[in-house]
A and B are shown apart, each in its own frame.
Chain A
Amino acid sequence: MYEQVVAINIGLAMLLAMSLNIITGFAGQPTLGHAAFYGIGAYTSALLTAKAGWPFLLALPAAGLVAAVVGVLLGLFSVRVREDFLAVTTIGINFVVVAIFQYVELFGASLGLAVPKPVLFGLRFGNTEILILLVILNILVYLFIRHLPTSWLGLALGGVRNEEDAAASLGVNPDHYKVFAFGIGTFIAGMTGSVYAHFMGFISSSDFAFPVSVGVLSMAVLGGLGTVSGPLLGAVILTLSPEVFRFVSDYRMLVYGGLLVLMMRFQPQGLIGDDSFLRRKWIGLFSRGKGGE
């Protein structure tokens, strides 16, 4: 069913945008290679189920773990280099990982990999089951992110994002928290990759190329980095817009690039970030009579 496929794509995009938000929004670490971890999860799950015969339910967390191990390594690297270097290095990691998928025999090279449909208690996973799984994962991740701003972790990440030195003066080890954020974010991206692989039934390296990373970042930015539900909104809008605007599909990238430019120029805090257009409207509607300062 067409609607189911669109819903699945939205579910995947929301997970990716939320996981990137943990690293870039909450911990303030720029990452432009998120698709690499999505891909690592997808390939891990594909190999474990197709070649090693693991059940999907084991391969799913394993995919997250493998992605997280690489993510932690990137985190350890990130604490050594300057912020600008990190952005470029994450682009580099995306290119290198895709090149490995594309050229190494184990990963199917340019042919890609076929992925078996998961079977759970004799039930073969169709799109409906995948969609249910995605809803569950989205709820879990959303609850975690909603908890962040009122948790010690959220406060520590906020400290690291704003003023690393001041955070350290409060006894927070900035390196530990950055690496932790990378670990959590890439773990979620890896699991999402696993779901993607088993939904598609076939993966190839270009599914995880750099433009995918830009797309995920754009979703989080469009909705509002560091906000709890902004990235969800961004994921829905950017996944739906090509479907809705099919008649202008030839201008898709033009519109997409232009949209990014205009957003950054006029609403860099995102659609529902602080003092954004939408938020002002919202507050205006619901808290009437509460004058300014």
Chain B
Amino acid sequence: MLVQQIINGIVVGSVYALTAMGATLVYGIMRILDISNAGAYAIGAYVAFFFLLQTGSPLVALVTGVALTAVFGFLVQKFLYAPLMNKSPNVSLIAGIGLFIFLQDFLRLVAGPQARELNFGTLLPSIQFPSLQLTLYGTWFLILAATALLLLILWLLLNRSPIGLAWRATAQDLETAKAMGINTNRVVAFNFILGYGFAAVAGILVGILYNSVYPTMGDVPAYKMLAVIVLGGLGNPLGTVLAALVIGMAETLIGGYVGFFLPRDAIAFVVLILILLWRPQGLLGRRRSS
């Protein structure tokens, strides 16, 4: 039972890591909290749902879902966030919330308010260990494998590629990077394409895990992912993964095993507030210099 909960916690944490990674990347460069990233999460799932319905091919659905959402990310940064870069961070924060509300309602109007099935068929079989009261679901493996693969690709991109070097320089200090001749506009664009692509993957995987997509599916991730990236120290991809696992684990263990008087979705924020009281700079964040 405990083993089951722990593995479940890791799976939930992986989903959170994927969901929050897009916003982490965006924060790393732009220093803005991009709530509309959770809109991309729902859009990715819906595009995949649509193409699955049309073509019946899970592969086409996955690729188009991710690709079209990434293009959407490019457009969002070009027409919304890039022009707001020198304004107060409150401005882009509220713009992001507005865009998120807009996208959610747009999906509701286009696809209807009800939940739809996202059935990719059985991709991997489940394994049961009746003597241990343990069931390992096929979708769990799928999510763990996808998370590990994507994080590896991300790590390689950021640490072993020219654009990754530019990314890290820009994340350090955008103005200096620009002065050093780095094309920061390209880095910002790349960042959004990657960030929204990640959100789409997360949305599709969650759609598969619960076999459903619905317009407000981004609601809880939108705010929970903020808790995750803040806890991870804001803009630090490794910190985000760690924080996602801490929150995923806390939710499943406290919620499912110990029992808690508050609903599961409030736990993330209770954990966030407690940890920030202890470490105001986040789990892996550096203390600010005064």
Q: Do A and B interact directly, with beta carbons closer than 8 Å?
A: yes
| Chain A interfacial positions (CB closer than 8 Å to B) | 24, 30, 32, 77, 80-85, 87-89, 91-93, 95-96, 99-100, 102-104, 210, 214, 217-218, 221, 225, 250-251, 253-254, 256-261, 263-265, 268
Q: Using Cβ atoms and an 8 Å threshold, which residues of chain A touch B87?
A: 268
The 10 closest A-B pairs by CB, nearest first: A260-B98, A257-B102, A92-B269, A257-B101, A264-B95, A99-B266, A253-B105, A254-B105, A261-B98, A268-B91
- B16 proximal to A (CB < 8 A): no
Most buried by B among A251, A261, A263: A261
Find the residue from B31, B101, B109, B281 having the highest chain A CB count within 10 A: B101
A residues near B234, Cβ cutoff 8 Å: 82, 84-85
Instruction: Identify which of B52-60, B124-132, B194-202, B272-280 touches chain A.
Output: B272-280
Q: Collect the chain B residues with CB atoms within 8 Å of residue A84's CB.
A: 27, 31, 33, 89, 230, 234
In contact, B263 and A81 (Cβ under 8 angstroms): no
User: Which residues from A are CB-within-8-Å of B263?
Assistant: 99, 102-103
How many whole Å from A217's CB to the nearest CB in chain B? 7
B157, CB-defined interface residue at 8 Å: no
A92–B223 Cα distance when bound, in Å, is 8
Task: Flag whether B99 is at the interface (Cβ < 8 A).
Answer: yes
Q: Which of B102, B268, B273 contacts A93 (CB 8 A)?
A: B273
Instruction: Give CA–CA (A284, B201) in the complex, Å.
Output: 52
Q: What residues of chain A lie closer than 8 Å to B261, measured between beta carbons?
A: 103-104
Other A-B pairs beyond A82-B234, A84-B27, 4, CB < 8 Å: A82-B288, A95-B269, A99-B266, A260-B95
Partner of A260, one of B90, B97, B273, B276: B97
Q: Which of A96, A217, A261 contacts B269 (CB 8 A)?
A: A96
Look across to chain A and name the residue whose beta carbon is closest to the beta carbon of B235.
Answer: A84
Measured CA separation A221–B102 after assembly (Å): 17
Minimum distance in angstroms from A31 CB to a CB of chain B: 10
B100 at the interface (CB under 8 A from A): yes
Task: Report if B83 contacts A (CB, 8 A).
Answer: yes
CA A80 to CA B276, docked complex, whole Å: 9
Contact yes or no, B109 A96, CB < 8 A: no
Which one, B95, B109, B223, B268, contacts A261 given CB within 8 A? B95
In the assembled complex, the Cα of A32 lies from the Cα of B27 at a distance in Å of: 18
Q: Is the CB of B91 within 8 A of A254?
A: no
Say yes or no: is B103 at the interface (Cβ < 8 Å to chain A). yes
* A95 CA / B269 CA spacing, docked (Å): 8
Closest to A91 in B: B223
Contact residues in B for A214 (Cβ distance below 8 Å): 97, 101
Task: Identify the closest chain B residue to A30 (Cβ).
Answer: B90
Chain B hits for A85, CB < 8 A: 230, 234, 276, 280, 282
CB distance from A267 to the nearest CB of B (A): 10
